[in-house]
Structure 1
Amino acid sequence: MQLPSRILSCVLSLGVLPLLSAQDGDTLHLERYVVTGVPAEQSVNPLTRDSSTVVGDARNILDTPRAVSAITEALLNERGIHGVKEFVVYSPGGYATASYGLATTPNLRGDTAETYLNGQRRSYNLYGFLPSWNGIEAVDIVRGPGSAVFGAGFFSGGYVNYVTKQPKFSGPETNVTARLGTWVPHGGPSYLNASVQIDHTAPVSEKLAYRVSYEGKGGDTFYKENGVKDDRQDIYFALTWKPDSRRTFQFNAQWEWQNWPEILGVNRPNQDLIDHGIYYTGTSEDLPSGPGPIRVTGTVTIPWDASLFAIGDYSNSNAGHAQLISTFEFSPAFKVVNRTFAETIRRHRYNQSEYAEWVWQDTAENRTEAHVKFDLLGRPQSAIVGATVRYEHRKSYTNYFNEYLYNFDVTDPSRVFNQAAQYPNSYFPGFIGPDGYQFFPNAYDVPETVVSALWNPALFWQHDVALTDQLSLLVGLREDWFFARARDPYEAETGIPYRDSATVASFSHNVNLLWRPSALTSFYATYQRIRAANGNVTGGGIILNTPDGQINRDDFRNLSELAEVGAKFSLLENKLFTGASWFNQTRSKVSLGGKKNNIVVRGLELEAVYQPHARLNATFNATFQDGHYLDSRPFQMGGRDIYAAYLVGQGPGGKGTSTGTYAPFGNQVPNGDWPLLGFSKVLLNGSVRYRLENGFGAGANAQWSSRQAGNLDDQWHIPAQYVLNASLFYEAKRWSLNVDFLNVTQQRNWYHNGDAFSGSILVFQEQPFRVEGYVKLRF
């Protein structure tokens, strides 16, 4: 295969750049800022932490020409963050949808975010398993897709980079964190769900240190009446070896098991349900063509813990990874970094409402980067040149062929919602697959049933030049090659040949301009065109398209185009960080069934972090945005009209229109600029924490979101809503105690599921006021 000429410069740079006039000084590196009176380990201010996971080299946030929010180790620990919904409120443009009750990854700028680990992209995890916090000590939230060094994954709204816990050479240290459960005074059941985390680090010698962290969790949940469990076992290990001043080897590995399922939430969303908690009871008739319209029997106030998760539903996930980062510093002006990452995932899930998935995901990636600093034409320059090889093997069996969801009454006291047993006349049998469960072939328009393999080599070149002492230009180029093959595992059973292979190349680039008029101020402009791959939503396997079973070559050229300008400031002697960014971003969005649509989002983002001393800190961010689909026809399960699911004169407001039949997959919208669903045009988040000199303290955080459209025709919506949380704590030298008061004002808030596919079918409730707590011991 002949390399495109535009990439030859990348290859040549590997050999040429080290030979140029290298300088002994770090010409473009800015030391992290220091806040007097605040030790680094107690700082929540992003100014005190450098990051190499935005453009590839270690930079302070003022030197980074992208919109990024940094959650430091102190902020992570102080706020007790251990979930997606908890950390995403510390970034503008970020929010977490219900995602069938399984918030595995946040949304950024109107689309799903990718997940990285120390700068390497993890396996596809939308609707997968909950991310572990057992091995995490910091988080970078980058709004917009990855740079030329990292490339883009399946999702290009942005990405979350998890920074793993590092061993400490300062001496032995052990931290134990224990949680007991949740007390719910009104509105639902209290429950016992105990967890313990034991985190230990120590040096072996001056050159070698290790860290090991174990977390175990088990017990009931708020949805215990439906049989929902939350059990986990998790072990993390890290090793840092510095044989000399020029070489560093950082290794981490983790294995985790969990059984947290898709809770699904409440079906039949409508405005009476959202505004007044009124649920229309009754079930559908079992017709040969499928479940018929809902025959309403009455109304009830929906219980807080109502869920379509049925007693006997099943979920199980095992995930393991290993990563080695090797750094070789040949001189102050030249170093090589190699990152190797491998991950294996096994997920099983079965919901009696008729959704099942058995997924195997194996991923391996190796990236080598040459970091060079030199002078050219009298100006300091730096470059990152390198290559990546990534391999993904996916095997997934999926069944949603008989899934309707609207036909069940979520208030049924049996708490069993079994499609096969309750609707035998309309049940279409599948093919026997793993563990004796039924699944459906790719050839039956279920692209999530597939066996696929993907090789993705890439070359990249990123060049940073100081045009003046205050103005610098960063240019990144990347060429990706995709060698893909896929087949339907049920070819023999169906007799339909359904397989294909494809070779595709795609080019991406970014241009960033950074102006530093002073040491405490920066302004930047970014333009980026990134090509991303497209995979199915059950593990990211290659999609074979209906009806010919072919791979669409454009699935590897999904364009994300970003224009962004921003400003960042360090104020009040580095005690206050503020930032603002304006952006316009277009990209592709994928849903269940392989449906792909284009979206555009534009807006203004503001953020601030204030910490005058170690005992007081506050955060605030605001998002003002607008977004919609572009000339697209998103598919909605249940169709575009929620009233068509009810018999004439029945249902919400007596608006039912069915005369006895119902086609839940028909009556879809035509092409158009439809609204994004579960998308607020205004998001406001704030938090504050204060500790007295005697160790006692209090904190509070609040989130406010504006109106959200429920389905494409806006037949129902989630109004503007807020949630207020508070905490009381005590901190001593060797131990601390924290008590959280969540949803203090008992708001009956709702979460959209996050996509058009389920917009007419599902919605999720916020839990009522509840009290949780944890204790930490330090040795």
Structure 2
Amino acid sequence: MNTNLLRTLLSGLALASLTGPSFAQTTPPVDNSPPTDGEVLELERFKVTSGVDVEAIVLPIARPFNSVFGTDDNIVDVPRNVTIISRQQLSDISIESVLDFSKLTSSAFTTTNFGAPSNASIRGQSADVFLNGVRSRITSNGNGLPVDFNSVESVNIVKGPATAVQGASMYVGGFIDLVSKRPYFDKTKGSVSATIGSYNTKRWTVDVGGPISKELAYRASYSGEDSDGYYVNGFKKTHSFYGALSYRPNPNYELFVNSQFFVANYTENWGINRVTQNLIDHGLYTTGININNGSAGSPSDAQNSYHVQAGGNTIAWGPEVKINRHTRLLRPSNDSYGEEFNIQAIQTLKLSAEMKLKNTSFYSHTERDTISTYYYSEIIDPSYFMENRTEFIYDSPKFTVNTGLDLRYQRTKAYDDYFFEPANVWDITKDVNFINVYNSAAFVNGGRGFAVPGWPGRFAQPGLFNGDTNDSKGTTIGPFAQSTWNINDKWSLVTGVRVDYFKAKVREPLLPPFVRDEMSVSLPNYNVSLIYKPTTTSSVYATYNNSKNTSGAVGNGGGITGWDGNNFGQLDKELFQQPSELYEIGTKYALAGNTVFLNFAAYDQKRTAKSTSSTVVQEYHYKGFEAELNYQPNKHIYATMSYSYIDAEASVGFQYAMFDPGELPPGNSTNAAIMFGNTAKVSGLPSHLFNALASYSFDNGFSVSANAVLTGEMNNNTAGSLVIPFQYTIDASASYAWKDWNFRMQILNVTDEENWSPPNAVYGNGSILALPGTQVQFSVKYSF
């Protein structure tokens, strides 16, 4: 099928999704929305009757969900490790970014990604982001626009690769599925809230919804932020608009349409450069400037920036000084700006008591511009994709099957430049206004690469060399089938298979137009699980998942490069068929009258990731154990805990300063790099992660909660010569509900710990983030 035909088909299906049939049948309605206040939640054999408001329920057994197999399932019967995060937990912990997921689930520690991670990490790997079961982003290194939680009602976190329903991608550690806010059919209601806090934090939200008629309801939400933040010269300014409609003309049909527009202007955060163990242990920073103009020469400015080279800098190291933890590698004028627009339409038609038809159409458009003059430049102009998935779902007591067809088209134009990146040459204790490679003669005279068309003063390197810059198109046709066979009361067999027929067309946008290529591959993805149920409220499972996965540009555009490092101008087929294999066993229990849920899992996963535009093939091996507990006996108290252990190794890829050891400070010059081909522990990943959350509500309206996160030792660099020690963080909050008002105070990092967060593995010798100290925030919310 050619590209134009696929695009026409996708567009037609998307338009069709906005008009629904008016079939009239006598079978019950399809209703996946949360029950209204006061309803009792029932799910097969599990019932919650403790008087807990729906939004306050944290027990996952009380919530049907379809993130794993696309069918409404009970978490006890799903043969994968899944965490469901409720609206109550999102509020109690004030989830603001994917970094915060480590407070609520196992194996979800995310590296800094320059202070702006767009994707969480799960089991040591960048994770996918889904919206109501459909992949919603195509960034490929986990860096980009932050996740906007304005539209989010709850979050399902799935460990391990996507199943046959969702299809394979370069992310095989897991995925987060954002569940959108739904319209209200019972009555018009809403809320207005505002938050102020330390370091000029200011956030606000307006959320309202209600019925327009018996068949039609709406939901609208706006949130904004204008904050300075903990770090010098920092800011975050965002606006988010969300709207949704639900249309139910008869008992058998529903159309749910949601749309979101998000604008963000913010500063990324490299953190502190020149990392040494003395910096980690004692906060001591190594000073000194480059002397490329000769040891007797006078500096051209405070940073001697005129003489900065792309590599091979000679630095006259100075004394170690106590660093201000608010400081980071940033010139005051540097920033990142992005816009993201999404629209999704989900149709569900009940065909019979056992059969329904579901169609999901999704369109996403992203533009982004980042300039950091230390130096990194990226322009996404633009990146967009459209997807349409049709599912036929048959559900009977004996057998369930979800089968259908997924169509997808993506288009990306991205320009990236990080070849001239002397991050360790800059002394952040001196005038940071001179942290600017545009002042460097070496940059101006050839080091800046090619001019970006339509962007005066901006430069990039060809994707043939850096693996990021690309003008690419990709089409996917993916038939799939996922089924569950209940053999008897004790045993079930789950199987799934999908083949994505993927075609890529790639053009190098900075070199002559003859540098282009196209290729087609088949990407199989299959899974099989065996489930044994000792009792009706417990299960033991074994799962196997095997897939071949696409590669992509390293940059945030998430486009397609895949150039062959051995054959100029040709795509490398191996880059589009990278294998992943997962073995997982686990057990789940609903105990104490369904007030306790326990979840245990152990896994072994191997995957291959060949670097784009390179001949380097990296092999990854992850082994781990996860344990999670949820407890909610009544409306007054709930608690969650999780623990994870991971042993992760990888063959070594590129590391910052590997080929320019002169930029490594004295405390980091020995064994700071391991050469290609050797195996080392995956850096930026703690072997042990523990979190706990507890909340208690009094009858008089007061409530208190506390959260703790503990991380074991982790390497900041691949060589293991820079080690972040055991760390912990404690957050606490108190709130008071009075009539329609709610007042809340939250203290983050109560004990003012001086903690650190690692970067991704490439930059471990040149970057580490000093995490914020104690912060206080006050919130007020009025509900109507």
TM-score (norm 2): 0.89
Q: What residue in structure 1 maps to residue 70 of structure 2?
A: 56
**Alpha-carbon distance change, 165 to 316 in structure 1, aligned in 2, over 3 angstroms:** same
1:556 Cα shift?
2.0
Moved more, 400-409 or 34-43: 34-43
CA offsets 1:322-379 (integer angstroms, 9 cap, x no match): 00000011101111100100000000011111211111211100000001246xxxx9
CA distance in 1, matches of 2:97, 2:463: 37
CA distance in 1, matches of 2:510, 2:446: 20
Does 2:372 match 1:372? no
- RMSD after superposition: 2.4
CA offsets 1:43-85 (integer angstroms, 9 cap, x no match): 1111111111111101111121110000012222333323212
Letter in 2 for 1:106: A
CA distance in 1, matches of 2:111, 2:717: 14
CA distance in 2, matches of 1:58, 1:490: 48
Q: What residue in structure 2 maps to residue 633 of structure 1?
A: 652
Q: Secondary structure at the match of 2:61?
A: helix
1:554 Cα shift?
1.9
8 Å CA contact retained: 1:640, 1:760:
no
1:773 Cα shift?
2.1
8 Å CA contact retained: 2:268, 2:335:
no
Superposed, 1:26-425 pairs within 5 Å as: 30=44, 33-125=47-139, 126-182=142-198, 191-223=199-231, 225-226=232-233, 228-286=234-292, 290-359=311-380, 360-373=382-395, 380-422=398-440, 424=442
CA distance in 1, matches of 2:441, 2:721: 28
CA offsets 1:10-38 (integer angstroms, 9 cap, x no match): xxxxxxxxxxxxx9999xx8365324232
CA distance in 1, matches of 2:344, 2:358: 13
8 Å CA contact retained: 2:463, 2:470:
no
8 Å CA contact retained: 2:740, 2:783:
yes
8 Å CA contact retained: 1:441, 1:488:
no
Q: Secondary structure at the match of 2:100?
A: helix
**Alpha-carbon distance change, 268 to 590 in structure 1, aligned in 2, over 3 angstroms:** farther
Does 2:774 match 1:769? yes
CA distance in 2, matches of 1:777, 1:422: 54
1:213 Cα shift?
0.1
CA distance in 2, matches of 1:752, 1:313: 22
Q: What residue in structure 2 maps to residue 606 of structure 1?
A: 627
Letter in 1 for 2:212: V
Letter in 1 for 2:767: L
CA distance in 2, matches of 1:33, 1:607: 21
Figure out how many residues of one structure are paired with residues of the other and give that number. 725
1:289 Cα shift?
7.1
8 Å CA contact retained: 1:177, 1:197:
yes
Q: What residue in structure 1 maps to residue 298 of structure 2?
A: none
1:587 Cα shift?
1.7
Superposed, 1:602-751 pairs within 5 Å as: 602-629=623-650, 632-639=651-658, 644-645=662-663, 651-652=666-667, 669-751=675-757
Q: What residue in structure 1 maps to residue 540 of structure 2?
A: 523
1:741 Cα shift?
1.0
Select which of 767, 778, 783 maps to 1:778: 783
1:738 Cα shift?
1.2
**Alpha-carbon distance change, 566 to 289 in structure 1, aligned in 2, over 3 angstroms:** closer
Q: What residue in structure 1 maps to residue 476 of structure 2?
A: 456
**Alpha-carbon distance change, 669 to 33 in structure 1, aligned in 2, over 3 angstroms:** farther
**Alpha-carbon distance change, 314 to 157 in structure 1, aligned in 2, over 3 angstroms:** same
Letter in 2 for 1:518: T
Q: Secondary structure at the match of 2:103?
A: helix
Letter in 2 for 1:60: N
Select which of 539, 564, 572 maps to 1:545: 564
CA distance in 1, matches of 2:28, 2:508: 57
CA distance in 2, matches of 1:253, 1:599: 38
Q: What residue in structure 2 maps to residue 6 of structure 1?
A: none
CA distance in 2, matches of 1:669, 1:577: 46
CA distance in 2, matches of 1:24, 1:211: 24
Q: What residue in structure 1 maps to residue 582 of structure 2?
A: 562
Does 2:604 match 1:584? yes
8 Å CA contact retained: 1:311, 1:416:
no
**Alpha-carbon distance change, 656 to 720 in structure 1, aligned in 2, over 3 angstroms:** closer
Question: Which runs of 5 or more residues in structure 2 are unaligned?
Answer: 3-26, 31-42, 293-306
1:733 Cα shift?
3.3
CA distance in 1, matches of 2:656, 2:587: 42
CA distance in 1, matches of 2:361, 2:464: 38
CA distance in 2, matches of 1:243, 1:25: 10
CA distance in 2, matches of 1:33, 1:143: 26
8 Å CA contact retained: 2:502, 2:521:
yes
Letter in 1 for 2:751: T
Q: What residue in structure 1 maps to residue 17 of structure 2?
A: none
Letter in 2 for 1:704: L
1:154 Cα shift?
2.1
1:380 Cα shift?
2.0
Select which of 758, 761, 766 maps to 1:756: 761
Percent identity of paired positions between Structure 1 and Structure 2? 29
Letter in 1 for 2:191: N
8 Å CA contact retained: 2:552, 2:612:
no
8 Å CA contact retained: 1:356, 1:399:
yes
1:174 Cα shift?
1.2
8 Å CA contact retained: 2:164, 2:527:
yes
Q: Secondary structure at the match of 2:681?
A: coil
TM-score (norm 1): 0.89
1:592 Cα shift?
8.4
1:422 Cα shift?
4.5
**Alpha-carbon distance change, 289 to 178 in structure 1, aligned in 2, over 3 angstroms:** closer
Letter in 2 for 1:599: Y
**Alpha-carbon distance change, 605 to 637 in structure 1, aligned in 2, over 3 angstroms:** same
Q: Secondary structure at the match of 1:267?
A: coil
Q: What residue in structure 2 maps to residue 478 of structure 1?
A: 498
CA distance in 2, matches of 1:166, 1:589: 38
8 Å CA contact retained: 2:468, 2:553:
yes
Q: Secondary structure at the match of 1:212?
A: strand
1:117 Cα shift?
0.3
8 Å CA contact retained: 1:440, 1:446:
no
Select which of 559, 571, 577 maps to 2:591: 571
Q: Secondary structure at the match of 1:569?
A: strand
1:88 Cα shift?
3.4
Question: Which runs of 5 or more residues in structure 1 are unaligned?
Answer: 3-22, 183-190, 658-663
Q: What residue in structure 1 maps to residue 302 of structure 2?
A: none
